[in-house]
Structure formats: structure tokens, C-alpha cells
Structure 1
């Protein structure tokens, strides 16, 4: 073999090594919960911890809301066990939580008191530490209350809210804070009277719930639920009150992400809750499920690039509905897991054709089930049980758990089960993944 051929082979080997390294980097970095912000720093490899934001129960343990850490490292002697529990001040209706973009902080929101508890999850990810509490939310934001959670944006968090301090109804806003906990801005949801330039203003009800971003399309999408007056009322009492049942959101709003201006209101009746954008580079669509309508809806860009919304499938044909409360879309955009509080089941849909979802599987998770979190590789799913303190089921149906399952593409198989009542840890609500190994975010990777 001559020198020229040897040089060529050497160059080819180097190129193959570089390609392999790039692919390996992509595979490693593309790891995390599939519903997380594209601006969020990613976990390298498999999640090591599950953080659970749990509601306190009077007379159970210390009775306080708390951030619970569960070890989920497969080779750990503590796998499936609680390794840390950090209580906060009192019972605040712990709801959703979210990381800052650098993943150093976890912001845990409370619906009833409108407090936001900020934890350091960077110094020791296995032992989060409460470092700051925002307890003047309504005063600072101009009257927004009921912070839903926190969504990572560059250098700041976006907090969609559910209510307002004036009448505690459903009119509400999006709020922004800097990563160090300083207030930045409030953006009120459009209404018929104050549409802020949004198309279909006649539909606008001003309600809010979730907020998710698709950066490459400059798209910010929000959904809607109900206000403080309803979510702090006993579920049976509320559903028996015709007037109360009129006060649920029936809209979603597409915003200009850069300007934070509402562009178009969609009529989506029945309280559309969680929003899940597709991840594919050419997949310009998002799913939601309506809690009161038990329907799957698709928000998508049509052939002209215009955003539209339409119902695409029933979640179930059970009379009265099944109260779908959370959804999780697989990283390949092919499978949608739907968590149904009403009958405690997880229903799984093939959404390879997003316009025509088809149910392919269902599993009884418990008497009640709320949140579902899915690993990026789609092999692990975690479920929690609590919806709201005043809405959870009673008696023997009031199961409170964190349950982990393995998914092989065909069925869910139990991995571990934590009884939060027996452990005196309250009502587990939202879950987020933690790790000691953090990489760049998806937008940084795409830029490279």
C-alpha cells in the first residue's frame, strides 16, 4: 500500500471517528423528559433522580408541602427509594414545578397561596436545598395569582397563571421572572374586551393554564383551565353547581413568542390542559387533551403556514368522560400517553399520523392517576396520583403514589411503587428528572 492510500485511509478513519463521536454526543444529549423546554440544559444519559412536588396533608407527617427526591439509578442500592424530603412552610396547594435553563434551580409553584419555592438542585442533586421563597407574587405581578409552574427560557422563567387577585376567577396572565428571582413582566391573556390584537377575539375568555414554546416557529402556545374559586372548592360541590361549571376555559392562544403578543385565539371547548409540542424538525404541531371533553386536540400549521386547531380523537367513549389530565409525547413523535384521573387508566395512542390518533393500549395505574413523565428513550414512565387537594378521590379510592413502569413498545410493566400515604409524604403531584450529569440544551446542540 503506497503512502497516498495510507493517508486516505487515515483520513477516513478520523472522519468516521468524528461522525461516531457526533452521533454519540447527539444520543447522549438527547436525554430527559420529553415535555421539557428546548432551552433547558439536558441530562447526559439516564435520569438519576425523580423530584416529586407533593401536597401536604393535615395530620400526616409534618403536614407540609415538600419536595421529595427518589433515587432511580438502576444499579443503586436505593433504587426506587426516597433519599431526601424537604418541607416548605405550610400547605400551599403544591402543583407544578420547573427548572431554570441552566438546571441549577427548581422552581416549585403553589396554586392556593401563590407562593413559589426555589430549590438549589445543582450543588447536590440528591439533596435539594430551599434557597428562596417568592411570597409577594400577586403584589409584584399586578394581580396575577395561581402560578401553574415554571418554564425555562434563556436567563428567565415563564410562569403561566390560573387566576387573578381581583375576583379570583379565570382571567389571568403569563408572568416572567429572571433566574435570580426578580420580576420582569406580566402579559395578560386576551379577552373579548381587551383582545390585544388577537384574531378570533370573540372567542377570547382570558383563561390560562399551560404555556409551551416552539422557538423555530416563533410560537408560544397557551391553554386554559379554571380560576382560584373553582380549584380550591370541593370537587363534588363544584360539579353540582351549574354556575361554577360555567367558569372553565374553552380556548387556546397562539402568541408571537418574541413580542409576547397574542396572535390568534382557538375555540377548544372543555378545558384544554397540558400542551406537548412535537420534537421533529418539520413537525409543526402540538397536542392537548380537554379535561371536561375527554378529547385529543391538535394545534398545527396548515399548508399555508397558518395555525389551526381541531379535535382529532376521543380519549375514551366512557359515558361522562374519563377526565384526561396529563399527556406525554414520545421523543420520536409516534406515541402519546394519556393519563386519565377519572378511571385511573393510562391510554396509549399511536400518533404517527397526528391528524388521526389511534388507541393501541391501556393500563390501570390506580384508583386515580394524574401526572405522567416519560424518559427521552421512551423506556421508562412514572406516574403520580394527586390532582388537587380538594379534587382528589375519597376513602379507599384516595390512593397516593409514585409508580414507575418500563415500556417495551407494547405494554407497561411495573418497576417500583411508593405509597406516599404510608411514607407520610402527602399527595404527590408533579415530577421532574434530576442528575449529576448535565449537558447542553437542545437549541445549543441544533446550532452546532
Structure 2
């Protein structure tokens, strides 16, 4: 703990945008066949550096079979909340859950990203004993601790009770216990985020462990048994105040992205697939007169395809669904990026009017049928997946792996780890950078990215911006 706030903490989104650019990106690597330990890769992203777009350090873990997926910081701009006493923490430790093992690694990034090392390991038994949850997933640094969502409840298959969120101490990393006091109708879990001054949280649903760990279950998908609700919570009271059903055909509403400026009470969620027509969709929620509302505001159609070119899972449909597997919102709340993992497209929408998204940019790379190569000629297997935006909004990074068993179903030829970057124009427009391509060690796949100093899916801001 320092004697002054970490310089990477910013009171408002505008101040974060004006901060220095990132020099390093942290990327999670997973071994899909569990033959080697998962790892954290540190990538040089500083233009002009002799090791630009190269892995300059790796932190392998001592165990196999963790399945790294999402991760986050111990502390971020939310520490500047006027209601807590944690302003003097450092953005120093990365909290990395093993989604399959329920183990959590704490990685220290000081004194320098290229010297990052394991600081502590939290074994699954501690999580099971103190929370009754399993399969940790999303990590957010809150003003009073580290919040971790889970995908499983207790028991071997994670179905003994619903999943939820638990809290960790942001200094000792001790698991404290369940966050929820009254969960209401929430029975599945996936992502969550919040508006701190407005005192609400939003959460989404994916599936229970038997529905995702061994691959997608087609019968369950076609029977609309995956998640299709969005939940709104009173953050301080820790209770569910409203649940909205998106419609059973809107399967797997995953990533939630509230507006970064806390004066704006709206946000976005991406829906993977509509089982009636294979569309992907974007939905906008907002709060009005104390009540939450949500509506579908953009759709992305499937692409017809020769069944012989499709994996067995899709051959009966004769089309490739876009499969909206990640979305991310620029810190100025202007552009929403939508990863279409199935069709191999990254879309950019102008969401200045949040209920009227306008498509302003698109690039293709990878895809189940398209298989579009990178501008440098390299083969990009899989499709755009986890996306991360620089604080200034000028660089958009992404990787290509969704989840090991799902990768194998949709991309049976394999998904070797890849990371690319596109440059975004201030008024809209997107172009892949032909000089940015990260080669990772053989046998790995790449998932979520975090940027040094914070990024657009890390920080929560406590004060409104001026001048945006």
C-alpha cells in the first residue's frame, strides 16, 4: 500500500482516456488437452520497441487442467469511491481463476511486467468451504474488495445449489464469503458489472457446468435451456430487485457492459444466438423512474454456407451463426465492439444513441467458413473472441479461443493461440494492424487480455466526465 493513490486510478472516464498508453498486455493461455500447465503471457505492445507484438515473459503455473478463462486486477479506479477507505491500494496483482479446477492464482506484476510471478495460490477447497460455489469466472475490483462470479454451485458437477458471486479481501486475498443476501430468481450465472454511484449491479447467465464443461449440449440449446435472463441488483443491500426474461429463444446473454460514465444509467448485453433464426443480437438496458427496461437494438444475421464446409454441429442448419461471444464498450461510451466468433467478424457500432446502434466499422478474420487470413498472411483459426480496448479508444485487441471443448466442436481443426490488434478511427472505422501479430508457444490457446494500467472492461469510475 502506498501513501498516495495509484497513478493508474482515474476518477472519471475522461481522465482515464487522457492517461499514458499501455506498454504491455497480459494474455491468458490455456492448454486445451491439459498436457501442460496454463500460463500468463506478457506481450510488448509499445510501438517502436524491438520486441513489439512479442511475448516477453511468461508465468506458467504449477498445476495442469485449470482452464484459464477470465481474470482481473486486485484494485482499480473503483478504489477512489468516496464511500470506502481503499484509495491507497496499488493496481499490482492479477487475480486468475482456473474455471475448470476452481483454483485461483494471484500474480504479482511488480516491480515490472517482465518480472511477474506467482504471489499466492488459493486452492479450491477454500472456495468450496467458504462459499459453496465453484467454477470461478469473472473478476472485478470493487471499492471494498475483489468480486468473483462463479458458474457452479457445490458438489462434484456444480449443481448442488445455484452459482453466485463471492468476495475476496483485496490485500490478503482471503476468500471472505458469498456476496448475495437475497438472490431472487437468479439460478444461473455468468458476467456481472455495476454502476457504483447509482448503486446497482447487472448480471447475466450462461449455463450450469454439465451444459458447458464437455461442450455445448445441442438438445439443451434447441430446447432453450441455456441462460436467457438478465438480473438487476441493489448493490449495497446485495439483493435482486428485478429480473427480465429476454425470451427463451434468446440463448446465452453473456457479457454485460454498463456505460462507463456513472451519470449514464444504461448498458449493453450481447446474446449469442436466437434459436429461431440463428441471429446474434445486442440489447440495451436503461433505468427510468426506478425501473429497469431492456430491448433488442441490433441484430446480426447468420451466413448461409455449404453444409460440407460446416462442423457436424452446424451441418443441419446450412448456415453459420455469428455467435456473439464478447462485446466491449469504449471508455467514452461511444463505440461498442461486437465479436462474432462464428462468422469471423469484429463489428464496431456507434452507440452515442444507446438505443439506436449504428454499424460504423467491420473487419473479418478467421471464421468457421470464411477462414479469412490476417493481412500479414498468417492463418487465424477460430474467430474474434475476447476483445479489449485501449483507454484512449485507438487500439482494439482480441484473441480467438472461446472455451476448450466448444472450440473443438465449432473449429475441429484446432484453434492455435493468436492475438491481433485493429486501429480505430475517431469518427468510426476499423482496420487490422498488419504489423501486430503475437506468436504464442505451441500447444496453447489464448483467451482474455488485460492492459497495463487498466482497460475498458476493467475499471469502474466513481465520478462523471467533463468535456466528452
TM-score (normalised: structure 2):
0.77
SS in 2 for 1:95: coil
User: Do the aligned residues in 1 keep the contact of 2:54 with 2:439 (CA within 8 Å)?
Assistant: no
Q: Distance in 2 between matches of 1:186 and 1:66?
A: 28
1:151 maps to which of 123, 131, 140? 140
| 2:165 aligned with 1:178 | no
Q: Distance in 2 between matches of 1:300 and 1:143?
A: 32
Aligned to 2:451: 433
Aligned-pair CA distance for 1:309: 1.7
> Radius of gyration: which is bigger?
1
Aligned to 2:118: 130
Aligned to 1:110: 98
Aligned-pair CA distance for 1:416: 0.9
Aligned to 2:108: 120
| 2:21 aligned with 1:46 | yes
Q: Distance in 1 between matches of 2:366 and 2:188?
A: 30
| 2:60 aligned with 1:87 | yes
Aligned to 1:73: 46
1:255 maps to which of 233, 236, 252? 233
User: Do the aligned residues in 2 keep the contact of 1:48 with 1:73 (CA within 8 Å)?
Assistant: yes
Gap regions ≥5 residues in structure 2: 1-9, 76-89, 275-279, 304-318, 368-382
Question: More helix per residue: 1 or 2?
Answer: 1
Q: Distance in 2 between matches of 1:103 and 1:222?
A: 24
Q: Distance in 1 between matches of 2:387 and 2:192?
A: 17
1:283 maps to which of 252, 257, 264? 264
Q: Distance in 2 between matches of 1:25 and 1:324?
A: 31
Aligned-pair CA distance for 1:159: 0.4
Aligned-pair CA distance for 1:168: 2.4
Post-superposition CA distance 1:129-155 (Å, at most 9, x none): 111111124423332111113100124
Paired residues for 1:235-246 under 5 Å: 235=216, 238-239=217-218, 241-242=219-220, 246=224
Aligned to 1:220: 201
In structure 2, the CA distance between the partners of 1:25 and 1:251, relative to structure 1 (3 Å rule), is closer
Equivalences, count: 391
In structure 2, the CA distance between the partners of 1:351 and 1:80, relative to structure 1 (3 Å rule), is same
TM-score (normalised: structure 1):
0.80
Aligned-pair CA distance for 1:317: 4.8
Q: Distance in 2 between matches of 1:446 and 1:378?
A: 15
In structure 2, the CA distance between the partners of 1:27 and 1:260, relative to structure 1 (3 Å rule), is closer
Gap regions ≥5 residues in structure 1: 1-23, 33-43, 190-195, 199-203
Aligned-pair CA distance for 1:211: 1.2
Aligned to 2:129: 140
Cα RMSD after superposing both structures: 2.8
1:312 maps to which of 276, 294, 297? 297
User: Do the aligned residues in 1 keep the contact of 2:25 with 2:452 (CA within 8 Å)?
Assistant: yes
